[in-house]
Structure 1
């Protein structure tokens, strides 16, 4: 019985420990019809990010919700989510089956634009903006 309690305590301890993740969304700037990542924005910041992954018949379904806040005056900012490519499919664009964007609960159009540094970096080939 003591071993069961100890195992339950260890399991609880690990379930309460948050696992850090690296996110790669960001503010972007249009450069001659393509997109380039900005280092930061002075008034718009990410305040929450929720990522849910569900496997349905062996296929992953990922739902990402990013909540941003503008702490300054009204502004227009282009935000982008990278469409990455690497390995066997390098230099290819693999569109998501669904990508929706909302501002204040209202849908906004999304387009895929090439990265301004395409060819110089293996990180980002194109962006959903």
Structure 2
């Protein structure tokens, strides 16, 4: 089976693993997926991630984070921009997730970053997904 949208696959794997209380999940590696994992780690939604070389494309091992009472750190993670419908936003019109409690992950000409970093650097881009 060919994989047309690796970002949606990554988000679905994280969502499913988090709902079943798995400690880690394996995701196919790509530059954008590494950027998404970096933003999730910087914002505190995952514990850590590392790259595993399998001789092919590679894998990203994402260690999921939970609250002390066992609740999910990522309650909702959803794709915003899809291959069929791209969603772009400038910094003034960038939507806030849950009134600023969540984040949007945005790909820009300076790399993948959160909407907070976009506002600090005053740049817009394609909104990949929203996390809360």
TM range (shorter): under 0.3
Question: Which TM-score applies when normalising by structure 1?
Answer: 0.28
Determine which structure has the larger helix proportion and give its number. 2
Determine which structure has the larger strand proportion and give its number. 1
